[in-house]
């Protein structure tokens, strides 16, 4: 079994490219199944294909088809232990735009549960979820701002200095929009309007924060009444263009687009008094929060490294486990054949005694070779040990 990874993230690709390869959960699962034994993790900041015995050139071509251009010089490819370590860091939030953010662990779980991976991917994703949970419970790396939504609120506070009395129009009533509303409200902002594709979603979130619900068609008419616009929908095309922004409005008007694909027309940034920030602009906010969480990040990295070593040992043991099983089966076959020769020559009680004694002798003889083979598996010579055992005991035909 071979483990590999092909992907794009905020580390190597701008939002203009990432948005072209971003997929919803159903589409991600469909792509994974089309490749074979695979899991597709697609979020605002990354689209990654985890593969078991699948040609990574095929996966790279699939990403290139989504992007509409070859990605040979942009996408990263990792294999075996490096691919596992990367997934563990992703699940722990260590590879995120906002290190320690909490949403990624749920996204990893959803990607894994959306398909039926084989034993190798099942193992590595289960370990990733376990280490992600450990990092969140055993470290404080997730302290504020620990998500894109909280970083967006921090960015708004930097621009205005004080958010008290500032009015916010929220576009999108999903989980990210809800988190953004909570973070902005906690800093004193007023959630004046919530716009959403479905009226019920807008109404429910608006009522929670004392605002009014809008349809997407009503957006332009309300832009002149707010100071901040935060957009986080899953729409494939922009929901707001420069022509929608009225000439008479509050100044400045601050737009935060935390959607991928982007919700807001880039031309808005060229309007007088309008300031547009997208998800990549949050990096500066994140950088200011890192110093206070560096020690916690180091602890999280230690936990991830421990899990990566456990995975490496498990993978290495796969070389010797079949040899151990064959050796024990071979020895048991010999024991059973010799006992069968005693049929009719000993009593039932004597036979039970012989069964017990020979089984104990067999276990004691094989215990130390078994332990040493498992220990050797962790090192580079595990496969050589397994081959030697197969040769010495004539087990080649059992492989």
Distance between CA atoms of residues 365 and 368, nearest Å:
7
- Cα 367-372-373 angle, rounded to 5 deg: 100
Q: What is the DSSP string of 64-79?
A: HHHHTS--TTTSEEEE
- Look at residues 55, 85, 72, 65 and name the one whose alpha carbon lies nearest to residue 13: 72
Q: Which of 44, 63, 87, 240 is catalytic?
A: 44
Q: Give the β-pairing of 253-257 and 190-195.
A: unpaired
For residue 315, the number of C-alpha atoms closer than 13 Å in the C-beta half-sphere is 23
Distance between CA atoms of residues 160 and 141, nearest Å:
27
Instruction: Give every CB contact of residue 178 below 8 A, 6+ residues apart in sequence.
Output: 205
Dihedral angle over CA of 195, 200, 203, 209, nearest 10: -90
> How many angstroms from the chain centroid is the CA of residue 333?
46
44 is catalytic: yes
What H or E segment, with its residue span, contains residue 167? strand 167-171
Q: What are phi and psi of 267, to 5 degrees?
A: -65, -15
- Look at residues 22, 32, 21, 43 and name the one whose alpha carbon lies nearest to residue 90: 43
Q: Give the β-pairing of 253-257 and 228-231.
A: parallel
Instruction: Burial-class residue 168 by CB neighbours within 10 Å (0-12, 13-18, 19+).
Output: buried
Adjacent-strand bridge partners of 274: 253
What H or E segment, with its residue span, contains residue 275? strand 274-278
Q: What share of the chain is helix, strand, coil (3-state, %, to 5)?
A: 60, 15, 30
Q: Which residues of 268-295 are buried (b: 16+ CB within 10 A; e: fewer)?
A: beebeebebbbbbbbeebbeebeeebee
Q: Which residues participate in catalysis according to the annotation?
A: 44
């Amino acid at each position: 079994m071979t483990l590999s990874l092909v992907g794009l993230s905020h580390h190597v690709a701008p939002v203009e490219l990432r948005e072209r390869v971003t997929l919803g959960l159903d589409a991600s699962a469909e792509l994974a199944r089309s490749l074979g034994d695979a899991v597709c993790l697609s979020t605002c900041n990354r689209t990654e294909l985890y593969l078991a015995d699948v040609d990574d050139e095929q996966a790279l071509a699939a990403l290139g088809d989504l992007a509409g251009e070859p990605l040979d010089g942009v996408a990263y490819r990792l294999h075996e232990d490096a691919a596992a370590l990367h997934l563990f860091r992703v699940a722990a939030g260590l590879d995120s735009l906002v290190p320690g953010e909490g949403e990624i662990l749920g996204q990893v779980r959803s990607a894994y549960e959306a398909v039926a991976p084989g034993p190798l991917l099942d193992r590595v994703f289960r370990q990733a979820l376990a280490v992600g949970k450990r990092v969140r419970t055993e470290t404080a790396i997730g302290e504020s701002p620990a998500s894109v939504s909280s970083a967006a609120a921090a960015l708004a506070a930097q621009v205005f200095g004080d958010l008290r009395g500032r009015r916010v129009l929220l576009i999108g009533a999903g989980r990210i929009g809800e988190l953004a509303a909570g973070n902005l409200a906690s800093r004193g902002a007023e959630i004046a309007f919530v716009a959403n594709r479905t009226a019920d979603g807008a109404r429910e979130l608006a009522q929670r924060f004392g605002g009014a619900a809008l349809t997407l068609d009503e957006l332009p008419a309300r832009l002149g009444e707010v100071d901040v616009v935060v957009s986080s929908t899953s729409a494939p095309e922009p929901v707001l263009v420069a022509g929608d922004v009225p000439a008479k409005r509050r100044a400045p008007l601050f737009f935060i687009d935390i959607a991928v694909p982007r919700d807001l027309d880039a031309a808005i940034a060229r309007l007088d008094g309008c300031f547009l920030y997208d998800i990549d602009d949050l990096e500066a906010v994140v950088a200011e929060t890192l110093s206070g969480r560096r020690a916690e990040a180091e602890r999280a990295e230690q936990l991830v490294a421990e899990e990566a070593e456990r995975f490496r040992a498990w993978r290495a043991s796969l070389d010797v486990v079949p040899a151990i099983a064959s050796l024990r089966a071979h020895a048991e076959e010999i024991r059973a054949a010799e006992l069968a020769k005693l049929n009719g020559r000993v009593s039932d009680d004597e036979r039970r005694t012989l069964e017990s004694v020979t089984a104990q002798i067999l276990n004691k003889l094989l215990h130390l070779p078994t332990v040493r083979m498992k220990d050797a598996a962790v090192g580079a010579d595990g496969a050589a040990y397994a081959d030697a055992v197969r040769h010495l005991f004539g087990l080649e035909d059992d492989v």
